[in-house]
Amino acid sequence: MTLTPAPEPVVPRPGPEVRPTAIGPRSPESPHGPDAGPGPGPDAGPGPGPDAGRGPLLPRAVCEAALTALLLFLIVTAVRWLVGPDPGAAAARPAVLGAVVGTLLALFMMSPPGRCSGGHLNPAVSLALWRLGVFPGREVVPYAVAQLTGSLFGVWCAGLVWGPVTARPPVRHASVRADPAWGDAAVLAAEAGVLAGSTLMLAVLLASPGGRRVLPYAVGLTTALVIRVLGPLSGGSANPARQFGPALLAGDTGRLWVYVLGPALGAVLGAWLAGRTGLRRPAR
């Protein structure tokens, strides 16, 4: 075949400059999408999942443990001051506590440690994100261990700071308790239902950049509503780490299995429902 010159010079058309791509092994696709950068930027969506799985596991697990410990320390602190001698304030306590916990979750998720680890702060959330296909399955157990350890440490530190009052009723290390009329099955269903709904919400919000940006606020608002509505009924934990440390130190372990199993079942159920509606990515 003979190569002949072009009949006239080719003039490049104006347009965006095309830069060569970097040469090297391609990194795994980020949950942000194929065009996402190697790390979080000013427009990255903070919250559960998007930034997790980047970098070494140990620093991210340490961030999860530290944030969970701080969260539980502040929850015990809030309960210690909310449960006071004024019985007239009892009706407002779930709303106030819900607002405090929801605000703390949103702030922690947007903080630098939260961006580093993904800001799960909940073993059931880590499980849900794995089943949704946005978090490595091999890291679910390390994250859960870090979160449960942080829960125990945070409650223990609160006891050191505030003294024996945190161990005595009605504070009891902020351990949640269901209404006596609620049996194990009812509490289990409530805990599972909350996580199933939360998992579907995560699937929807993680599907778009706009959703990822509002994710911390959505999680905070949902948590506040759950505590306000279900707190006086089922306990409104919806987080195994929320009940793990308080229940162990308060010796209130009779229903601990319900508060651990319920959210885990709900996470799996929610991810299954997301898969049925086409929202779930393949688990990895």
Minimal CA–CA distance to 116: which of 198, 188, 52?
A: 52
Which tens digit of pLDDT belongs to each residue from 72-105?
999 999 999 888 544 445 556 899 999 999 999 9
Q: What are the phi and psi torsion angles at 30 (to 5°)?
A: -80, 150
Instruction: Please indicate, yes or no, whether the overall pTM of this predicted structure exceeds 0.75.
Output: yes
Mean pLDDT of the chain: 83
Q: Which residues contact 235 (CB under 8 A, 6 or more apart)?
A: 176, 177, 178, 187, 243, 259
CA 140 distance to own-chain centroid: 12
Position 170 scores a pLDDT of: 87
Q: How far apart are CA 191 and CA 186, in angstroms?
A: 9
DSSP secondary structure letters along 38-70: SS--TT---STTTTTTSS-HHHHHHHHHHHHHH
> With contact defined as beta carbons under 8 Å apart, do 71 and 121 qualify?
yes
> With contact defined as beta carbons under 8 Å apart, do 152 and 242 qualify?
no
- Residue 258 identity: V
Q: What is the mean pLDDT of residues 162-190?
A: 94
> With contact defined as beta carbons under 8 Å apart, do 103 and 220 qualify?
yes
Q: What is the mean pLDDT of residues 176-192?
A: 96
Which tens digit of pLDDT belongs to each residue from 245-274?
999 999 999 999 999 999 999 999 999 999
- Dihedral (Cα; 111, 112, 113, 117), 10-degree rounding: 100
Which tens digit of pLDDT belongs to each residue from 204-219?
999 999 999 999 999 9
**Per-residue pLDDT at 58 exceeds 70:** yes
Position 90 scores a pLDDT of: 59
